[in-house]
Amino acid sequence: MVLLPETLAAVRAARRDRMQTSLNLAYGSAIASIGLTVPAIALASIWLSGPLVLGLGPSTWSCSPSPAW
């Protein structure tokens, strides 16, 4: 619902063969949404009980080299 105006504008631009404009709208909308949501949730977690979990577990951040098969 929040991203609907940008999505519609991106689709309209793509239909008019303006792919650069379409991609700029789509990526800009996604980045703005993420960039505003994560800090808002982080601030809200100060007042909410429970830990802040962003969906990345410890196994996701492995720095060990992958085995060469």
Q: What is the pTM of this model?
A: 0.56
**Pick from 11, 31, 30: which is nearest to 21 by CA?**
11
What's the alpha-carbon Rg for the chain, to the nearest Å?
A: 18
Q: Per-residue confidence of the chain (69 residues) as pLDDT tens digits?
A: 666 888 889 999 999 999 999 999 989 888 888 888 888 888 988 888 888 877 766 665 555 565 555
Q: How far is CA 1 from CA 5, 35, 46, in A?
A: 8, 17, 27
56-64 own/partner pairs: CB under 8 Å, 24+ apart = none
What is the amino acid identity at position 22? S
Residue 4 region by backbone torsions, left for phi larger than 0, else alpha for psi between -120 and 50, else beta? alpha
